[in-house]
A and B are shown apart, each in its own frame.
Chain A
């Protein structure tokens, strides 16, 4: 049988993630595209557990654990070190949404502004999962987390990290989803050959935090795209915006929301409001693509 993605498995078997963890698949696919000549910096996040305790490591490439807000600068230091030592490798910062949207944001912005030659990957599970599912600025509107409990769900919108990073005018930025591995791998392959700062955002459902059956991970990741909640796109130099998967007949957001415990409390008008938001965001996106 001919596979539509590279056959070689770089990450090992067995890991410390929860059953049905989307973040594990994200790394598996990304490494298929990047290959073994890769060095990863990893801040505090679920992945620092998934990789396994000392002296084990799941990834079979060099991996450097660093402090929560430092994946990007640590990667840029490794890049500088490799340069003076005359070595070549893909240098990848691999971080969760909390590290990216919140605490590490200033440092990522710095690395992007300097256009350092690294690939920054945010695997977005929309909350601080390692510490037990607290809200982050990637948590969607109205979602329940342990710090936005049922009687007071999140009041703020998800931070638009894509636009913010695009405005840094970095050479390449893409979003990807574990439900579309060919698209994801294609984008990583493309990113690999570009010099300078590349930013990749991967949508990674989390059964534990989002409260759904582990068997639904791929389905939810796909529904997020099909409902236009998580558009698959690319941006070059902050100017050239393009959808890599157009969604002509979007599914209603309700289909996506109703499968998850974190949205169980939503009333009809909440769902309407979310639908309205998603429609608005899509319009804004189309405007950027037209420009």
Chain B
């Protein structure tokens, strides 16, 4: 079935199709429609889930960790300040190895207040042990939820589906809604190995001495490494059943490209248009879209970049006092490689500032004029 859906509702449909069993959420713009639709689905019985209408995002995550521990499939969604308030519990969820799936609508932090998009909210959760997927359109939003449950439950780590505020969350696009039977076949019910069960008492999460703690962390890293493979595998399998293939990264006209643009989310889909424009002008340029950011597909990206002269990383985020975050990660990934391009880090579009294909063409042209990066940050579009 095809339906015209806003990104937020694409999330809700993904959750419904995945048969989530416990949902807990707290409203924040621009996330609210996600859980509004879910609460309607729960109220009508269309989705057989318990919906806990908590009093804060922090409690939402705490409740889901508890619920996940009983073996229930769980979901929440949030944005920006809500995600920041959850931060403590994000660590807890990963440490407790709960495969919670969450939608995060990328919204800029205050002050000054902003409801528009940038990636600083999700990227400041980079080191919590959550997997992160950056979607580029509403179809991918829906499809990624289903895949996320599958990967999360296999590697026992939580996953975040990230979409740009308004650019996706409130933009309607035709979305193919898969058949429930096919989804059921693809995504079997969640079976938790170690769970809270009154019939078999265990204590979970008690104080650990330095003799044990380290190993718990080691196992999270190993699970993340395993997840790299899982995202590829599950993306392929999804493609076979539903006809839409997904991977860790996506490339566009990259095979013969001399220079590559690297970006994520909706800027990457805008960059595709920029690549076309530049190709028409004879530029040998291609695109890498980083879809999965955690676990980070550094090897894969390095491999694609190995034959390029220059890479332009476009970040809609900033780590203050350093530079763009994707730029840092990619630079780190290629550092030890023999064959690597010169890498340029561009920051643009903070707080939802429009980024057009024309802007990306300009950025590209400017970078091509440089021998070396003029600095760690090449700013695009700052009006002082």
Contact = CB atoms under 8 A, between A and B. Distances in A.
Interface of A: 36-39, 41, 48-49, 51-57, 59-67, 69-70, 72-78, 80-85, 87-89, 106-107, 109-110, 113-114, 116
B209 interface: yes
Contacts of B92: 66-67
A67 B64 CA distance: 13
B62 interface: yes
B54 A81 contact: no
B206 A106 contact: no
B202 interface: yes
B201 A76 contact: no
Contact of B203 (A36, A59, A85): A59
Contacts of A67: 62, 88-89, 92
Contacts of A63: 201-204, 206
Contacts of A69: 58
A54 B207 contact: yes
Contacts of B88: 67
Most B CB within 10 A of own CB, among A41, A65, A84, A116: A84
Given A39-B196, A88-B198, A107-B55, A64 B209 contact: no
Interface stretch (B68-76, B235-243, B328-336, B347-355): B68-76
Nearest to A44: B207
5 contacts: A64-B69, A77-B68, A81-B69, A106-B55, A109-B55
B58 A76 contact: no
Contact of B66 (A64, A84, A89): A64
Nearest to A87: B198
Given A65-B203, A65-B205, A81-B21, 15 more contacts: A39-B196, A39-B198, A55-B206, A62-B202, A62-B203, A70-B59, A77-B64, A80-B67, A81-B70, A82-B70, A84-B70, A84-B72, A110-B59, A113-B55, A116-B52
Given A38-B198, A70-B59, A51 B206 contact: yes
Given A65-B205, A66-B65, A80 B196 contact: no
Contacts of A107: 55-56, 58-59, 62
Nearest to A49: B207
Given A84-B22, A87-B70, A114-B53, A64 B204 contact: yes
Contacts of A62: 196-198, 200-203
Nearest to B55: A110
Interface string B199-231: 011111111110010000000000000000000
Contact of A76 (B48, B52, B205, B209): B52
Most B CB within 10 A of own CB, among A57, A62, A73, A87: A73
B367 interface: no
Contact of A53 (B58, B67, B209): B209
Nearest to B92: A67
Nearest to A93: B66
A201 to B, nearest CB: 21
A80 B201 contact: no
A41 B69 CA distance: 12
B206 A76 contact: no
A80 B203 contact: no
A48 B207 contact: yes
Given A64-B66, A88-B198, A110-B59, A77 B24 contact: yes
A1 B142 CA distance: 66
User: Nearest 10 CB-CB pairs, A to B?
Assistant: A81-B70, A77-B66, A110-B55, A57-B203, A77-B63, A65-B205, A70-B62, A89-B198, A73-B59, A81-B67
Contact of A85 (B56, B59, B70, B204): B70
A77 B65 contact: yes
Contact of A78 (B60, B69, B201, B203): B69
A106 B205 CA distance: 24
B50 interface: yes
B208 A53 contact: yes
Given A67-B62, A81-B71, A87-B198, A54 B206 contact: yes
Nearest to A113: B55
A80 B65 contact: no
A74 B62 contact: yes
B72 A74 contact: no
B46 to A, nearest CB: 16
B56 A52 contact: no
B200 to A, nearest CB: 8
B49 interface: yes
Interface in B1-56: 21-22, 24, 48-50, 52-56
Contacts of A113: 55
B52 to A, nearest CB: 6
Contacts of A72: 59
Contacts of A51: 203, 206
Contacts of A66: 62, 65-66, 92, 205
A81 B212 CA distance: 29
B138 to A, nearest CB: 29
B63 A61 contact: no
A66 B206 CA distance: 9
B201 A53 contact: no
B2 to A, nearest CB: 31
Contacts of B60: 73
A4 B131 CA distance: 54
B158 to A, nearest CB: 14
Most A CB within 10 A of own CB, among B21, B62, B72, B198: B62
Contacts of A110: 54-56, 59
Contacts of A36: 198, 201
Nearest to A110: B55
B304 to A, nearest CB: 40
A70 B206 contact: no
A41 to B, nearest CB: 7
A75 to B, nearest CB: 7
A130 to B, nearest CB: 11
